Structure 1
Amino acid sequence: MKKTLLKASVLGAMLLSMVAPSETIAQSADRPWGLSLYGSANQARTNMRNDIWDMSNSSWGGGLGINRYLSPSFDVALQLNYFNLKQDANNVTYNVTGFGPGRFDDEVGTANLGLKLKLNNGKILSETAFLQPYLIAGIGAQYASVEAYLPVARPGGTNEFKYDEGMLRMNYMGGAGIGFKITEGISIFAQSTLNYPSTNLLDGISPAGSDELNDRYLQHQFGLTFGLGKATDTDGDGVSDRRDKCPDTPAGVQVDKTGCPLDGDGDGVPDYQDKCPTEAGTAALEGCPDKDGDGVRDSEDECPDQAGPAATRGCPDADGDGVADKNDTCPNTPAGTRVDASGCPVVVDRDNDGVNDDVDRCPDVAGSAANMGCPGLDVEDSTYMARVPKIEFEFNRAVLKRTSYPTLDRMSTMLSKYPHYNLRISGHADHIGSNEYNQELSVRRADAAKSYLTNQKGVASDRIITEGFGEERPVAPNTTNAGRARNRRAEFRLFIQ
C-alpha cells in the first residue's frame, strides 16, 4: 500500500512539473525549454552508518528534469527522482540505547525545484562553450517509505523490531554540475548534490534525547539533456535572430556564422552585391577596384594606371575639353572652348558672351567663361553659398533635424531662381560605427535631403545628385558630442552640368 502511495506521489509531482517553470542542464535563449533524463547513484549518511562518497555502497535510481532558461547566468530546473536507499549496520556500533545492529530499506521519491548559477554566461565562459559548469541549490519535497529492522534486547534473547512508515518531508539540496555540449540541442551532464531531508527517520532510528537531524544523502546524476523548441530565424539564413548580426539578409544569400553575407575578397561589399567578387574594391564602385583612384572601375577604365574623368573613360584630359589626351590633337585648348572629336576648337557663340557654344552650358543666355557660359549667382546668393551651407541629422539616423528646414527651403528657392544650375548633396557621418556602416549612412542622409526637396518642394529629381563620404571628412573633432553632431551633416554645392 505504501509503495503504491509513493508511486502515486511521484506521478503527481511529474504532472505538476508540466505546468511549473523549469529548465535543462544546458539550455539557451534559442532553445529555452529542455528535458533531462538521468540515472543516479545515492549514498546515505544515517544514524546507522556513513556511506558518503563510498561508491561500493551506493543505491541506484533515476529521474526526469524539466527545465527553463531564465538568463545567461541563471536557469531554473524541476528535478524528479526515484531511488532506493539501503543500509545494514554490519556489526557497526551506533549510539541508540537498547539497539544493536540493524538494517533498513527505503523507497524514496523527491521533487526539487532548483536555481542554477551558470559559469558559461559570457563572462567566465562563452554561452556556447563545450564545457558548461554550474552551481545549483533548491528546495523540494521528499516522500520516503521506510522499512527498518532493528534488533532489541528482550527477555529470552534479542528480537527484531520492524519499523514501517511513510513520510512526506521538506528536502533541501545544493551542489554543482557540469554539462558537455554535443550538438545545438543535446548535451550530457553530471551533477552531485547533498540533500538534507527534514527528518531523522530515513533509517527508522531517532536517537533518544536529541533533535539533531543526522540523516542526509549524496546524489550523483548522470544523463542527457534535450533542448526543446526552435530558434527564431526571421531571414531564414540558418542563424538565429539572437546571434544574427545581419538579420535582414535576402533569401538565398550565403552567410557566415554571424549571419552576415559572405565577402570573399574582404572589401566590405557582400559577394551578392559585389560586381567584382574576387578583387577587393570600394563600395562606391560596387566592390570593383580602381587602381588610379579616378572613380572609374579598372574594368571600364581605358587608362587604369592614369587618373582621368569618367567622360573620357578614365583617361587624362589636361585641357578639360572632353577629349582624352591620347586622342587630343589640340591638347592646350583654352577652357570653355568648343572642340571637335579631335579636341580642336569649333568657333560658335550664339549668345555672344565670349564662350563658344561647344563649352557653353547656356548657349542661348549670356553668361561668363567662369560659369561655362551661364549667368552667375547674384551677390547675396553667392555669399550664402560661400559659407558652405550644411544641415544636421539625428544620431545614427538619416532623419533631418528641424533646424535644417530653412537651409533646404533656401536651396529650393535658389534652384527655382537659377534653372541652369543643379545641386550636389554630400552626406557625412561622425566616427561612431564601422567605416562601411558610416559610408552607407552618409548616402542615406544625402538621399533624405534630396527626398525633402523633391517631395516637399517639387524640385525635379534629375537636378539633384547625391553622394556619401562616411566619416572621411569631419568638420569638427569627434571627441565631443557637439563636434560629432556637426559631423552628422549634409553639404550643398550648386553647379552647372
Structure 2
Amino acid sequence: MGTDFWDLGYPKEFRVGGGGHITRYLSPSFDVSLLGNYETYRFSADKPGNNFELRNGMVDLGLKLKLNNGKILKEDAFIQPFLMAGGGMFFANSEGRANGANFFNKIRRPEVFGMAGLRFRLSEAVALDLTTSQHYPFTERTDNLYGPANPADKLYDRFLVHSLGLTIALGKTKDEDKDGVSDKKDKCPGTPAGVAVDPNGCPLDRDGDGVPDYQDKCPDVKGVAALQGCPDRDGDGITDADDKCPDVAGLAALQGCPDADGDGVTDLSDKCPGTPAGVKVDATGCPLDRDGDGVPDYQDRCPDRAGPASNKGCPEIKAETKKRLQEATKSINFEFNKAVLLPSSYPTLKDLAAIMAEYPDYTMSIAGHTDSKGADDYNLRLSYDRAASARTYMLSQSVPADRIESRGYGETKPIADNATAKGQAMNRRVEFDLYLTGEPNSAEVKYGPAPTITELQKTPAGRPTAGKAPVRKAPVKKAPMKKAPMKRK
C-alpha cells in the first residue's frame, strides 16, 4: 500500500518482534546461522479504508562473512562488522481491506534476505549485535494488492528488519594443547604446555627464522634450523658463537677454521701452507724434520741421521771411506782358477762389514770381473761366483742380506789392456761400491746390467775387450777338441 522504509510509525503503527539465532563457527572468516524471527505489523494507508495487519515469522539459513578474520580486523576487535545472506521460508497471516474489499490471506512462501551488522565485543562470551536486514518474500499478497492493476506493488512486499540483541557464546571451545587458542583456530595443534603462542596458536618466533623460541638457542638472532636457530655466516655447520673463523668455512675439528692442505693446522697458524697430503707436520704446520738437517722427513731418505739435501738427507760417504772401498779391490784374493777366498782377504772383508755398520742407510754392490783368457761363459760364471763368495763372507759378519748384492760381468768390462800381463792382472778384480738403499745399483750405473751366459752366446766371437780384437775361430774340419781347463786365473 506504498513505500514506508525507515518509517517506524510507532506508536501510530505497531511494528515490533523478536527472534533467536544459532550460529556455528566455521573459520575465521565464515559462520553459518539458523535464524528464527516473529513480528507483527500494522499499516494504515492514506486512502480511506486501505489497511492491513500482518503477523509473520521467518525461518532462514544464512552464511555470515566476518571482517574480523585476522586479515582485515583482529579476531578479538571490539567492533566486528559482518555481512550475511541466505534464504528460507516466510510464514504470514495477513488481513485487512484493499480496493474496497476485505481480505484474509494465509501465506507460506520462500524468501531471500541480506543483512549487514555490527557486533560489539563486550567480553569473550558476550556481544551486542546491531543489524539491518532486507527480506524479500516471494509473494504479492501481504497487502493484497497485486495483478495488472497494481504492477508496482510487487516490490512493496519487501521489508526491512532492524534488530538489537545479545549474543552469548555457548559451551567451551576445544583446546587440546591448552595454549589459549581453540582447536578450530589453532594452526599449530599439539604445542607443548607452557609455550607462548601467537593468535594462530603457533609458538612465538621472535627472530622469524622458522625455529620457535622455545626450541631456539638464539631466539633474538635469525639462524638455521639445523643449528637450533643459531646463525652460521660461513655455512660450515658451526654456529658463529663457537666458530673461531666465522666468516670463512672451516672444519669442526679446528673450531670452524679452514685447513687448505689438510695437515691438521689451521691456515691462520700454518707457516708451511701447501704441505702434501699425508705428511706429518709440527704445531706450525711444517713437515717434521727429526734429524734437523733441513730436509723434511717425507723427503729424507735418512730421517734419523743428518745429511745434505744433495744426498737426499743422508750422510755422505767420507773420502777416507771411499778410499778404503777402492783399496779393498786390491786385497781380495782367491785360489787359482776358483771362487774360494784366500785368508788374506778376510781382514779387508771385515773392514767392509764395519763400513756397512757405519752407514746403515746404504747398500753394498759387489761386482766380479775377469781377464779375457778362457771361454766367455766360463769367465762370466767365475766372476759371479767370486763376487758371491765375498758376499757370503760378509753375511757371516752380520751384514743383513738385503743390504748387500753381488753380480758378475766376466770379461766384458775391462779397465786395462788384456794384451799385457799387467793389464790382465788389473782386470781380474772384485769391486765394492756403496749406494743409498732404494737408489739404482752403483755397478749397474757404471757398467749397465750384468750380462747373462745366453746373451754372451748370442755373439759367436764373444764380447770385445779393451786391447783385444774379436777372435774369429777357424772352421772345424774334424771333431772339436776339448779345451783344457785354464790355469792362469
Q: Report the TM-score, using the length of structure 1 for normalisation.
A: 0.44
In terms of fraction of residues, the more strand-rich structure is 1
Structure label with greater radius of gyration: 2
Q: Report the TM-score, using the length of structure 2 for normalisation.
A: 0.44
